[in-house]
Amino acid sequence: MQPLPEVGDLVRDTATGRVGFYVGNVSGNVPGGVSGRCLIRPVHGGAEWEAEPADVQPATPLRELRARAAEINARSRRGLS
């Protein structure tokens, strides 16, 4: 099993093909207070989704570049720098 990414890392959910930023693990009623599922925030904002840790992989450099450029462009359109 691969180690979990760090908070803020861009990851790909292989089960859905979606790319987003790793937020952390989902809290739940399990021993230790962590359910084991990963919480991922979409690049363009919106509702976060949960993914199985086995389905979460680091994004490739090309995917990361595209996602970060898209986030910067979205912020620019909203008037944020």
Tell me the per-residue pLDDT of 9-54, one tens digit each, with 9 for 90 and over: 999 999 998 999 999 988 755 555 456 899 999 987 889 999 999 9
Provide the pLDDT for residue 31: 53
State if pTM tops 0.85.
no
CB 47 within 8 A of CB 7: no
Between CA 59 and CA 64 the distance in angstroms is 6
Between CA 43 and CA 13 the distance in angstroms is 13
Provide the pLDDT for residue 33: 46
